[in-house]
Structure 1
């Protein structure tokens, strides 16, 4: 089945005005592959401990896969450590809420520390994601926000990220419209300096748990 895309009928992307012509995205790809490999090896013991804790607390797989919309509208399967009950979406897809009752006790901890996001390093190595970029949304929410927020699909001009300008400045509490503003700012201004700033803010978020649900 052909991946869904978000282009005009004349084949020009909605995000055309946000495409960058600099060489930095290519440099960034090489750096993030090396960094992701290092992080994957460094955090492997943490993921193994988290996986054991998840398995002890609730039945089901320790991993969670979900379809997300990536670069230029191409869908992919994001990989995370499971932080909710296996029947979390028995009533249909829904956004995580503050103090969400579907989140397990182990899930609360790995969400607060962002440990549940670590398997996405595999997505980065596969080329589905970038280390830094807009948060990947689910197809149904991408369609919904695109109807409600003009220009929402412009964030698809770059690969989605494990962390990003929107994630460290607003986190889960930001509205989709607010996240879009952060995302478009990053797409326009992306640079090595800005990426270092985002990585530093990400470290602070991990240690403080700011913005977690």
Structure 2
């Protein structure tokens, strides 16, 4: 059922959004030299590597040549790239990944190998699932771009603040996911992107609140 949903909806989405693909492709090409798409390697289901589709928002071939986690003040981001990242439009080409089958609409966000190598035995079951465009962690960390911009070291901020909650929520999804739950996550994601709401699904609120308490307690101790 989930795979059929992914194929049908991503196919329809690619057709309906073809005009937007064309407009953004032209804008990217005019703005800076390089290709339209970013095709960075990511770790997928069962630890297999695949290449993700995103609209290019940075200068070509710069991933790994600087910070992995990028704030708004990173000089590698192009002018159009700032707009794409702020509006999340850079993520739309992942419909291609969903259609061909190495991603789903909902699932743990595909991770860089450098961070997958840090997984504990408890965290490795995350790789049992196909990665997705959105998940609980995407909603809870929707403002991570701002966190990276404010941080002195964006990679350190990811490891200290973003990644711990991300892993907890991905593990929760790993053991509680369902097709109906996936549909709810899709609607929640659209709602949060459009209305910039801080609200979250009630089932993950305790996890997020516990994480925030831990951050405050650790800050008080230090």
Answer whether TM exceeds 0.5 for this pair.
yes
Counterpart position of 1:186:
173
1:149-197 deviation per Cα after TM superposition (whole angstroms, max 9, x unaligned): 5633221110000111110122362611110111111121112332122
**1:38-57 matches, cutoff 5 A:** 38-57=12-31
Deviation (angstroms), 1:100: 2.9
* Unaligned runs of at least 5 residues, structure 1: 1-26
Tell me, yes or no, if the aligned pair for 1:113 and 1:209 is still in contact at 8 Å: no
**1:100-111 matches, cutoff 5 A:** 100-111=74-85
Higher share of residues assigned helix: 2
1:120 counterpart = 2:94: yes
1:36-77 deviation per Cα after TM superposition (whole angstroms, max 9, x unaligned): 111111111111111111111111111111111000101111
Counterpart position of 2:114:
140
Whole-Å Cα distance in 1 between the matches of residues 196 and 36 of structure 2?
A: 22
More displaced 10-residue stretch of structure 1: 120-129 or 83-92: 83-92
Tell me, yes or no, if the aligned pair for 2:104 and 2:132 is still in contact at 8 Å: yes
Counterpart position of 2:184:
197
Whole-Å Cα distance in 1 between the matches of residues 121 and 70 of structure 2?
A: 24
Counterpart position of 1:31:
5
TM-score in terms of structure 2 length: 0.74
TM-score in terms of structure 1 length: 0.77
Equivalent of 2:136, from 165, 178, 183?
165
**SS at 1:103 equivalent:** coil
Q: Return closer, same or farther for 1:190/1:89 CA change in 2, 3 Å cut-off.
A: closer
Whole-Å Cα distance in 2 between the matches of residues 42 and 28 of structure 1?
A: 21
* Unaligned runs of at least 5 residues, structure 2: 145-160, 199-222
Root-mean-square deviation (Å): 2.1
The number of equivalent residue pairs is 182
